[in-house]
Structure 1
Amino acid sequence: MSSSQVAADQPSTSQAADMYYGAYNELPKEILKHKERLGLQEPAQHPHVFIQSFLKKSVPDRRRVDQQMIKLLSSKAVVMDVVKTKKNSKTVSQSKKKRVLNAKERRKLKIYDIKPEHQRYVMYEPLYFLWQDYIKDYLDIEKGFNKVTMETKLQKADYHGSIITVTKSKCPSYVGISGIVVQETKNVWKIITKENKLKTIPKANTIFCVEIEGIVVTLYGNHLRRKSSERSVKKFKSKNTIDL
């Protein structure tokens, strides 16, 4: 199909103007009689001529003028509405969810390993002084020692920075080891001794002692076989202690 045939099929600018002009009607004669009083003026040129010149100035492309006029005059009313689309909650939550390293990956990266240059007793002495202030406030020692509340509080206390000593153990090599607690897991305590050595002491079947304001407190490792964060919220029941 040639360009001349396409142009012949489409309405010209004058035809589009006629369609647009046909949408308007003249004012009734009764109103035109009082046009001077109403402030109405005669148009400078015929509306048909004005519309054609306005369209030519506004839109330089005549074909586009014809197409836009046809769509404007022949189309039906369209109701514009905003459609809300629901996002897939699973994909959003999965994309926002942060990935956490598992235990095997943490061991491989050696995140919790203490480097040899950091295994010095002097480096952790300030931590011991902070722990002393913490345990005084936690046990509320100024009001005196209450054995009933003190027993449950000691099971929930955090011992990072405390100086503990192994008094009894089923493994004789652990007895007598003393140092500052630098790490705690569910089953072991890692301490730094005054000889600048890192020792890993199991909690199971081991009895420790810690000094608080001149009073030596005995801690049974079997009762503390939880992480410090878990112990702080756990409700402990009174248990009979079996001597080793």
Structure 2
Amino acid sequence: MSATPRKPPPIARELLGKAFPPQDADRIFADKVLHRPLLLQPTAEVDPGAPTVDARTRRQQARAKARQLSRRRARQKPKPLSAREIRALRVHKIPPEARKYAIYEPIHRMWVGYMQELLGTQMPVTPAAVAKLVSAEFVGAEVQVVRCRCVSRVGIRGIVVKDTKFTFEIVTRKDELKSEFIPFALDLYPYPHLLAEINYPIEIPKEHAVFRFEIPRPERLGEDSTKERNLVFELHGSQFEHRSTDRANKKFKQHNLDDL
């Protein structure tokens, strides 16, 4: 019988035999070549009758899918409350349990320190300090209505708890929110069954009203603070009808006040 021809070694074994000793070449060939797993990813079955999709069509499909996903997220996102719902739910109204003068006294003390730091220690107060006073924050100030076209509002005194564009909302020492009732038609109110439970207040309007507030002078070393009087300012509400955020960046100019 003729001897079967011996198969030549793989070419990878020959190349490893040239670079490493025989034992090392056999070990590396067995570990790195023979026993190395081959990971295969199955290919998707392609329908031979399906039309081919070009790159432009794929981009259009991707954009349509993105728009559909965006509309789905917009539907799932909660919608903000409308102005009518905010008024009905009284979102911006102070609840009765928060109408306590003692709650806002620490805020008033913080406001006094804020104003003393804003005006500085130079006495008398300079025009530059007064310009800063106009753009300051008045939530926490204790104000008093000294002049007003509505006589019933004169003498009201309390801490400002809300500063809007046209009104000051004040909590008095009697733990009440100074307010008046607004006459309105019942058929225009969105929830007439809640009228018995709602005290619909209006804040002190700034128009045609003059507010007075005091700022204690800062104590200085070597001086008797009892001999110094507090700084008293009068704020003309008709010239102060701005939101606090807009007032901080607004440059006020001196004008003649004809209504005084």
Q: TM-score w.r.t. structure 2 length?
A: 0.56
- Consecutive unaligned residues of structure 1, counting only runs of 5 or more, are 1-34, 40-57, 59-67, 72-82
- State the alpha-carbon separation in 2 of the partners of residues 98 and 230 from structure 1: 29
CA distances 1:55-99 after superposition (whole Å, capped 9, x unpaired): xxx9xxxxxxxxx9xx9xxxxxxxxxxx986666xx58x949985
* Percent identity over paired residues: 33
Contact 2:166 2:207 in 1 (8 A): yes
Is 1:228 equivalent to 2:207 in the alignment?
A: no
Shift in alpha-carbon separation, 1:146–1:98, aligned structure 2, 3 A: farther
Is the Cα–Cα contact under 8 Å of residues 118 and 133 in structure 2 kept in the other structure? Answer: no
Q: Which residue of 1 aligns with 2:134?
A: 155
User: What secondary structure sits across from 2:211 in the alignment?
Assistant: strand
CA distance in 2, matches of 1:99, 1:225: 31
Structure 1: 4+ residue segments shifted above 2 A = 83-88, 94-105, 143-147, 241-244
Question: Structure 1 residue 176 and structure 2 residue 155: aligned?
Answer: yes
Cα 1:152–1:160 shift into 2, 3 Å:
same
Q: SS at the partner of 2:210? A: strand
Contact 1:189/1:201 (CA < 8 Å) preserved in 2?
Answer: yes
Question: Per the alignment, in what secondary structure is the counterpart of residue 130 of structure 1?
Answer: helix
> Does the CA-based 8 Å contact 1:155-1:223 persist in structure 2?
no
Hey, what's the Cα distance between the residues in 1 that align with 2:153 and 2:164? 18
Matched residue SS, 1:125: helix
Superposed displacement of residue 148, structure 1: 1.7
Between Structure 1 and Structure 2, the one with more helix by share is: 1
Residue in structure 2 matching 1:189, options 168, 172, 175: 168
Counterpart check, 1:209 vs 2:212 = yes
> 2: distance between equivalents of 1:202 and 1:229?
18
Whole-Å separation in 1 of the counterparts to 2:90 and 2:131: 34
If asked which structure has higher relative contact order (CA below 8 Å, sep 6+), I would say 2
SS in 1 for 2:88: helix
Report if aligned partners of 1:120, 1:196 keep a CA contact under 8 Å in 2.
yes
Deviations 1:93-134 (A, max 9, x none): x94998543432221221121122221111111110111111
Instruction: Determine helix, strand or coil for the equivalent of 1:142.
Output: coil
Partner of 1:64: none
In the alignment, the residues of structure 1 paired with residue 254 and residue 77 of structure 2 have an alpha-carbon distance, to the nearest angstrom, of 40
TM-score w.r.t. structure 1 length?
Answer: 0.59
Q: Does 1:166 align with 2:182?
A: no
C-alpha distance 148-116 of structure 1, shift in aligned 2 (>3 A):
same
Alpha carbon RMSD of aligned pairs, Å?
A: 3.6
Count, aligned residues: 170
What one-letter code is carried by the residue in structure 2 that aligns with 1:208? F
Task: Tell me the distance in 2 between the aligned counterparts of 1:101 and 1:171.
Answer: 35
Letter in 2 for 1:132: V
- Amino acid paired to 1:229: T
Match of 1:132 in 2: 112
Secondary structure at the residue paired with 2:252?
coil
Provide the residue aligned with 1:47 in structure 2: none
1:118 pairs, out of 87, 98, 104, with 98
Q: Residue 109 of structure 1 corresponds to which residue in structure 2?
A: 89
